[in-house]
Amino acid sequence: MGKSEETMKTHVAVLPSPGIGHFIPLLELAKHLVINHNCLVSFLVITTEASAAQTQLLESPLLPVDLHVINLPPVDVFIQEDMLLTRLCVIVHENLVSIRAAIEQKRPDALVIDIFGTEAIDICDELSIPTYSFFTASANLLSFSLYLPTLDKEVDCEFRELPGPIHVPGCNPTRAEDLLDQVQDRKSNEYKWYLFHVSRLAMASGIFINSFYELEPVTLQALRENPFYKRIGTPPVHPVGPLVKEDEAMTETSAECLNWLDTQPTDSVLYISLGSGGTLTAEQMTELAHGLEMSKQRFIWVVRKPTDVSASDAFFTAGRGEDNPTMYLPEGFIRRTEGIGLVIQSWAPQVSVLRHPSTGGFLTHCGWNSILESVVHGVPMIAWPLYAEQRMNAAMLSKETRIAVKPGAVGPGKGLVGRKEIERVVRTVLEGEEGTAMRKRVRELKESAAKVLNCGGSSCQELSRVVDSWKRNRLKSTS
Active site residues: 22, 114
Residues 6+ apart with CB under 8 A from 360: 266, 267, 268, 269, 270, 379, 380, 429, 430, 435, 439
The rounded distance, in Å, linking the Cα atoms of 317 and 245 is 20
User: Looking at the DSSP assignment, which residues form a beta bridge with residue 361?
Assistant: 270
Tell me which amino acid residue 322 is: E
The rounded distance, in Å, linking the Cα atoms of 43 and 13 is 6
Over its C-alpha atoms, the chain yields an Rg (Å, rounded) of: 22
If one counts every other C-beta atom within 10 angstroms of the C-beta of residue 82, the result is 9
| Residue closest to 135 by CA, chosen among 193, 211, 196 | 211
3-state secondary structure of 363: strand
Cis peptide before 242 (omega within 30 of 0): yes
The rounded distance, in Å, linking the Cα atoms of 299 and 476 is 57
What does the CA dihedral 221, 227, 231, 232 come to, rounded to 10 degrees?
Answer: -30
The rounded distance, in Å, linking the Cα atoms of 232 and 230 is 6
The rounded distance, in Å, linking the Cα atoms of 337 and 335 is 6
